[in-house]
Amino acid sequence: MRKILLVLLFVFISPNWVTAAPTADAFGTLPNAYDAAISPDGKQVAIIVNNNGKYGVRIVTLGKKNEKLRAILLGKGVKPQWIKWANNEQVLIAFWQSKKYRAIPYTMSFIYTLNATSMKGKILIESKEVFRQDNSSVIDFLEDDPDHILMEFSDTNQNHVDIKRVNVKSGLYITIKRTKQGVQKWFTDARGEPRVGQGLVDRTGAVEEQWSLTIRDADEDQWRRAENFAGLEADVTIFGFTDDPNELVIGDHAGQDTLGLYVYDLIKKEVTRKLFHHDTYDAGGLVVSGNGAIIGASFVADSNEIELFDEYDTVLSRMRNKFSDHTVDYVDQSGDGRLYLFRISNAYDPGALAIVDASTNNVTVLAYIHKELPTAEMGSVTKVTYPARDDFEIPAYLTLPPTITSAEDLVNLPVVILPHGGPYARQAKRFDYFAQYFATRGFAVLQMNFRGSAGYGKGFEDEGRENWVKMQEDVEDGAKWILEQGIADPDRICIAGWSYGGYAALMGAIKSPELYACAISMAGVTDLKDMINDIKQYRFGSIAAQNFVLRGFDSKQEIAENSPVFRAAEIKVPLFLAHGESDQRVHFDQFRRMKSALRKSSAPVTYMSFENEDHFLSNQKNRQAFFRGLDKFLSKVINKK
């Protein structure tokens, strides 16, 4: 019955007006529009755009026709983080930039401050006195002081976080609060006053977390530790303050498995009310208006969702009704609340950034996010579930080739099993250019949220965190399920992935060679022991290694048994192995080790490495080359079968 129902789901949602598949270069093109922001007065919009593979910023005056182009290019090797107006004249753009020191790659973050009229700008804060990788951490945008923001950094120690009041135009700053022991993150109230400091206690070699939480009274300079606040643990997840300086917004399970948003009263020293709590999905964060007010909560269900409070929900409801088959993501709002900026997209449409006038319901499209990838050429996506070997239901998403137009076509298809990265991340029903690439090449694509995936509650995540083998088994069970459904051609199933997904692809080829006809690993982990040693080199590295990897295995032997580099000789299927040489997440040495180990394998291997490239293939030319390489690989190992 489940198989029949699954088939029926696809009968009416697959387009029958498919044109030629987009090229590899189209899939390798960076987004045309990365992010955008509305000026406080609602008159201008700043957009991060892609100009032939290089990111830049364009300023647009709303409602003005034939305006002279106002745009600049950002620096070489820039990966944007966010964009926001500090005031009606000055725009702030945060970005990462890859650098090298004595041939050793590293990444630094900066904020670029840009005058929207003159289009002249500069790096706001540079790391001169001390080597400091993070130069973009903003605590508060100070709605009542538009010429300044609060940032956290130190001029003497990269591990310290002094609070600085920074002029958004000149970059000049003063220190308003020195770092406190055990604090790596500061939180301010609605008045812009520093109120909470939180972090890990620095203990050499410690493998267990010890958190520190310090809270200042609203109207005096008295700091108190967490033990002075009943029911408030030092490791509590903090989201910010309400308009009341004594109301802290925290994450709380409140007896449930999922995380909700609650208000903790610092005077009463108790939780006083619930803001948001979903029975199935964890809260993701707060939605904040153009003037800094809390207007809703975000979470991920099958797609990105937001629940707006009170009168704000009216605009969102209208937009959801207008674009009923799309997800409407809140991005920004003008200071007076009249204009909203939304990202409108769905699983087969990369979508657009659009301005909505709440007073007239007019919708103005600012930019299409991936104009090279037309909706008509993408595959349909639906939610499915399948039973793991212990009968636990695994949520997943199935993308079909755009050529599938009837139930009769839904048999013996080439299939890609595509586990997500992280591994403590989340797959959702949203546009995924990697999945759609395979779909346009004729593959059905199964993407699962194996146990360990984030967003389904603590129990679901801990099931995987504490058992990496179970995560791999959940992936394998997905491949067996789609085979049992008759959708997959048993001779044409490939497993692919990026980062942890690349690791899962390699382990799948090793542990289940009878299932897979090929494996594709992009930036995949190959040596868990080596990765653990890398993690331990950083501050709090022993704790991170314990939480991220070690708790998922019972012994050093089990870690070795689940490291592809030590079992490379067991790989028999064609393999595609790719990596960026400046990858900071999964070091390039993981690729080199695996390449060396694969000399013992009889499998045909295609190698691709990219100079000066990061974990995400942020360089457009490299990303295009990657997809061209995949085209050649797939045509050899799958399409000719």
CB atoms within 10 A of CB 539: 12
Of the ranges 83-87, 209-213, 427-431, which one carries the lowest mean pLDDT score?
Answer: 209-213
Strands 575-580 and 518-522: parallel
Tokens of 86: 């500090």
Greater confidence, 27 or 295? 27
- What are phi and psi for residue 319, nearest 5 degrees? -70, -40
End-to-end CA distance of the chain, in Å?
Answer: 31
| Averaged pLDDT, 93-98 | 91
pLDDT at 306: 85
Q: Give, in degrees to the nearest 5, the angle at Cα 500 between 494 and 506.
A: 40
H or E element at residue 633: helix 620-637
pLDDT above 90 (res 14): no
What is the rounded CA–CA span in Å between residue 179 and residue 197?
9
Mean pLDDT of 229-251: 95
Q: Report the largest interatomic distance among the alpha carbons of the chain, rounded to a whole angstrom.
A: 74
Which of 165-174, 252-261, 321-330, 580-589 bottoms out in mean pLDDT, i.e. has the lowest? 321-330
List phi, psi (to 5°) of 7: -65, -45
* 8 A C-beta contact, residue 190 and residue 242: yes
Q: In terms of DSSP bridges, do strands 194-200 and 444-448 run parallel, antiparallel, or are they unpaired?
A: unpaired
Cα–Cα distance between 249 and 203 in angstroms, integer? Answer: 29
Looking at residue 312, what is its pLDDT?
67
The answer, yes or no, to whether residue 9 has pLDDT greater than 70, is no
Ordered by where they begin, the domains of the chain are 30-178 (2.120.10.60), 374-527+563-637 (3.40.50.1820)
142, pLDDT greater than 60: yes
Give the per-residue pLDDT at 629: 98
C-alpha Rg value of the chain to the nearest Å = 25
Question: Token pair 């050529």 is at which residue?
Answer: 403
Residue 4, pLDDT above cutoff 60: no
How large is the average pLDDT for residues 105-134? 88
- Cα 395 off chain centre by: 19
| CA dihedral (221, 222, 226, 230) positive or negative | negative
Q: Which of 412, 343, 350 is nearest to 381 (CA)?
A: 350
Taking Cα atoms as reference points, which of 428, 476, 470 lies closest to residue 451? 470
Per-residue pLDDT band at 15 (split at 50, 70, 90): very low
Q: Which of 421, 416, 385 is nearest to 400 (CA)?
A: 416
Whole-angstrom distance, CA of residue 468 vs CA of residue 401: 31
pLDDT at residue 62 tops 80: yes
pLDDT at position 7: 39
The answer to whether 111 touches 123, Cβ cutoff 8 Å, is yes
Interatomic CA distance for residues 229 and 214, integer angstroms: 10
Contacts of 95 (CB under 8 A, 6+ apart): 55, 74, 78, 79, 80, 81, 109, 110, 112, 136
Per the CB < 8 A criterion, the answer to whether 479 and 472 are in contact is: no
For residue 134, name the pLDDT band (cuts at 50, 70, 90): confident
User: Does residue 17 have a pLDDT over 50?
Assistant: no
* Average pLDDT for 437-463: 96
Is residue 13 predicted with pLDDT exceeding 60?
A: no
Residues 469, 451 contacting (CB under 8 angstroms)? no
Cis peptide before 423 (omega within 30 of 0): yes
What is the C-alpha separation between 295 and 312, in angstroms, rounded? 7
Asked if 477 contacts 394 with a C-beta cutoff of 8 angstroms, the reply is yes
The predicted model gives 559-573 an average pLDDT of 95
**CA separation for the pair 256, 252 (Å, rounded):** 9
What is the C-alpha to C-alpha distance for residues 572 and 511, in angstroms, rounded to an integer? 11
Mean pLDDT of 34-41: 96
* Residue 147 banded pLDDT, cuts 50, 70, 90: very high
**196 contacts 214 by C-beta, under 8 angstroms:** yes
The one-letter code for the residue type at 38 is I
Amino acid letter, 619: N
- Highest mean pLDDT among 14-23, 208-217, 311-320, 586-595 belongs to 586-595
The CA distance from 344 to 459, in Å, is 32
Number of CB atoms found within 10 A of residue 103's CB: 5
Instruction: Quote the CA–CA distance of 462 and 631 in Å, as a whole number.
Output: 37
Q: Is the peptide bond prior to 513 cis by the omega test (within 30 degrees of 0)?
A: no
Question: What are 378-420's pLDDT values in tens digits?
Answer: 999 999 999 999 999 999 999 999 998 888 888 999 999 999 9
